Structure 1
Amino acid sequence: MQPADRRSHLLVVLATVAAALLTCTATSASARPTPPDQLAPLGPDFLWGIASSGYQSEGHAPDSNWSRYIAAGKTPDPLLDSVDFLNRFRSDIALAAQLGIKVYGTGIEWARLQPAPGVWDENGFRFYDEVIGAIRAAGMRPMISLDHWVYPGWEADRGGWASPTFVPDWLANAQRVVDRYAGADPLWTTFNEPALNAYLEVSHGGLSPTDVPMMLDGIVRAHRSIYDYIHRVHPTAMVTSNIAYLSAVVDVVNDWPVVDRIADKLDFIGIDYYYGLAPDTLTTSTDFAEPWKNSLQPEGIYYALQHYSRAFPDKPLYIMENGMPTDNGLPRFDGYTRSDNLRDSIYWIQRAKADGMNVMGYDYWSITDNYEWGTYSARFGLYTVDILNDPSLTRRPTDAVATYTDIVHAGGVPSNYRPTRPPTPCSLVDIPTSCTDPLTVPN
């Protein structure tokens, strides 16, 4: 999941977008297919799911790089025990199963498995045994993330990603996880949003800016190695590393430097899409400490799928994270609801599928609110939880629970559905294509 504060990252984004805008012309490119009046459902093989991560939801966190960042006062909110998934995983998995979904995504925390060099905690493995078992018992397929930005504190003492032993240590843990859980036939994610991971390590003091190339090289080496290992242990495995999509242009400075080097070892393309880039972004300050104020352009999910379907025409595409933040569960300033955003996003996925894109699945972020890398203010959950003020950590359904249940059972939005808001003209999410060949909605 994306953190709340991405100001420095955004500056890079905006500089790149500004340069790209200069090339945007009104001349027409090859016309996209005429939008259909009726949309077909996504079909019985489509993988509906939810996404989550271990550190953000489990609580009772062992020593890690992120536990140290929080203890050092580098985040607005303490972690506490988040939504206490460590003790409430069965009920949260049951809530997910009630949606009718097929995939439950979660992370396996290295710090929980290996508290010290050469020391493995069987209790940690037993916890994940129970989590994976509960997912399968509920009729869902696990999606296991091997790395969602967190590593053990003893690795931080060695220098984190700058240590020459980091990649061998990472692989030793990952191989144990693969050996233990390949029999559950999970979908595999090696690294969550590699470039943003590096940015956060630098911004929180875990890595020097000069060591970022070393980290990204290490991610490439680790992914390539564990990909081969997974396929030796789990020959039919599907493996990816998910990409944070902001803009087709920004992609060249975001995850592409990693993805381009592991493209031959990706079985599908995992894509995270949350926010649009409004046309006035270059002149209006965007504060990612308050992500509920960010522009939401659901049609951007179509542009993201289009971008990667062109870059990787032989690979299936999977939306692995998508959702809408609110400020402590309050309504958005523009009246846009979680249900609106969900329906509109699924409409554009169905449009992408209708236009020939090989979309295999969609995971909503997340089943509950959780720790958004420093804050509990930004809430994305289908079930909202007032973590700071409600000791009972009661899961309260948002309007999107019924909406997602209906979507899953129908295989999409109704065939005659129309988005609640029109596509943004000349969207910065995909320029110049959205200028030369913009998306439209039938009357």
Structure 2
Amino acid sequence: MRTPTRLLGAGAVLLCLLSPAAAVHAAPLPDDFLWGVATSGFQSEGSSPDSNWRRYSDSGRTHDVIGTSVDFRHRYAEDITSAADLGVDVFRFGVEWARLQPAPGVWDETELRYYDDVVREITGRGMTPMITLDHWVYPGWVADRGGWANPEIVDDWLANAQKVIERYSGVGALWITINEPTVYVQKELSFGGIGPDRAPRMLDRLVEVHRRAYDLIHENDPGARVSSNLAYVPAAMDALDTTFVDRVRDKLDFLGVDYYYGLSLDNLTAVSAITDAFYDISPQPDGIYHALMRYTRKFPGLPLYVVENGMPTDDGKPRPDGYTRSDHLRDHLYWMERARADGAPVIGYNYWSITDNYEWGTFRPRFGLFTVDALTDPTLTRRPTDAVAAYRDVVANGLPPGYEPGRRAGICSLVDPPLSCTNPP
């Protein structure tokens, strides 16, 4: 039980603000908890057809060109097998609109059969597909028509969504309509897909297609669970929620939460996110606790799913502070379990990502459980990081008995101010 802050003396309040939370052992997760891994279409498939992001990649404005990426397009069976060997329950991937519909009214049966094979591999390995309909990529012919600035995109987007939904209803899929809508808008602004004056309208259209896709899924795939995953930005969610999540709350069967970095008085490295230098951010695992508790309070009873969580390294090099991928994984799972113990209805966790991939303009950030050197290794060999064995062990056995996080909680967390500072766990 927590003592309300208003009953503490001034000295106790100051101590609370300036002292990291003491370690408390986390409770084990239930048998029906969903463990998973994630990837996306454009980032990992390679050999990309014409799309907004193929054009951005080829424009000379990105650090690297996408090329074959890590060639999930032809190596999906290997990566799905690696996921199954971890013992996970869920494999998240994206079905790329640009592959399926290379021209208006034209559907590519070869690419549809490719995704049929992906789904068959996942289900055949005993895992549940988590299918993402839109991971920031649309066909080149849609870009030629103005992309999200053109109101016709709504009907075009929904035609593709219906094609995918009808094809994969009945396979037991979890569905993600739109990946990180607010970051989607930010990327389109950065690369010129829309102008600043069109950002509010793009958000309106993302809200509309999510709401209509939700209904399409439930009409075609009764009993399926549907969400859109949000990018958790510390201290900014009150404003960001109003642009999308608050407008679709009635069309969410669970809320997907992507958590990568925190913010506290003793850790301001999150500023590196502004330049996408995520490998320069000092991880703050306790922040995932505050993120999950925020939505537990905001949306009582709505299940939560950590759709993405992971740690980038700088081109695969060890972190200067010695913090490893397995450290990062276990510490975040500890705090996720603490959130569950305090009432957060967390039903699943996906590691981002199964392999390294193309991080929206560059191969430099390495997020993979399996590392792949896309630029210099023509064999694209998947090499396990230390987190592979760690994740396999956690999935099978939970955290080690008495596990305490290696990284201390931040001093006055600002992940969800003021409560994350004044009421630490």
If the length of structure 1 is used for normalisation, what is the TM-score? 0.89
Matched, 1:204 2:209: no
Q: Distance in 1 between matches of 2:209 and 2:170?
A: 22
Q: Identify which of 346, 352, 361 aligns with 1:359.
A: 346
How many Å separate the matches in 1 of 2:142 and 2:13? 52
1:431 shift after superposition: 1.8
Q: Runs in 1 of length 4+ with deviation above 6 angstroms?
A: 281-284
Deviations 1:182-233 (A, max 9, x none): 1211000001110110011011011011001110000111011110111011
Shift of 1:256: 3.8
Residue among 101, 104, 127 paired with 1:140: 127
Give the Cα–Cα distance (whole angstroms) in 2 for the partners of residues 41 and 414 of structure 1: 10
Of residues 292, 297, 305, the one that matches 1:305 is: 292
Q: Distance in 1 between matches of 2:335 and 2:271?
A: 28
2:425 matches 1:425? no
From 314, 323, 328, give the equivalent of 1:336. 323
| Gap change, CA 1:210 and 1:428, over 3 Å in 2 | same
Q: How does 1:102-121 map to 2 (within 5 A)?
A: 102-121=89-108
Residue identity opposite 2:198 in structure 1: D
CA displacement at 1:288 relative to structure 2: 3.3
The answer to whether the 8 A contact 1:196-1:254 is kept is no
Q: How does 1:255-294 map to 2 (within 5 A)?
A: 255-279=241-265, 286=272, 288-294=275-281
In the alignment, which residue of structure 1 is the partner of 2:206?
219
Q: Report the 3-state secondary structure (helix = DSSP H, G, I; strand = E; otherwise coil) of the residue aligned with 2:134.
A: coil
8 Å contact kept, 1:193–1:242: yes
Give 1:290 shift: 2.4
Q: 1:265 to 1:284 in 2, by over 3 A?
A: closer
C-alpha distance in structure 1 between counterparts of 2:301 and 2:373, whole Å = 43
Find 2:65's aligned residue among 78, 93, 102: 78
Contact 1:425 1:434 in 2 (8 A): no
- Residues of 2 paired with 1:181 and 1:284: CA distance? 39
**Alpha-carbon distance, 1:39 to partner:** 3.0
The equivalent position to 1:161 in structure 2, one of 148, 153, 165, is: 148
CA offset digits 1:211-265 (Å, max 9, x no partner) = 0111000011101111011101111010000011122x30123344211010000
Task: State whether residues 263 and 287 of structure 2, in contact with CA within 8 Å, keep that contact through their aligned partners in structure 1.
Answer: no
TM-score, normalised to structure 2's length? Answer: 0.93
Does the 8 A contact of 2:334 with 2:399 survive in 1? yes
Identity of aligned residues (%): 57
How far off is 1:109 after superposition? 0.1
Within 2, Cα distance between the matches of 1:260 and 1:326?
33
**Separation in structure 2 between the aligned mates of residue 28 and residue 308 of structure 1, nearest angstrom:** 27
Equivalent residues in 2 for 1:40-51 (5 A)?
A: 40-51=27-38
- In structure 1, the residue matched to 2:8 is none
**Structure 2: gaps spanning 5 or more residues:** 1-11
Which residue in 1 is equivalent to 2:366? 379
| RMSD across aligned positions (CA) | 1.9
Q: Could you tell me how far 1:338 is from its partner in structure 2?
A: 0.3
Q: Which runs of 5+ in 1 are unaligned?
A: 1-24
Structure 1 SS opposite 2:200: helix
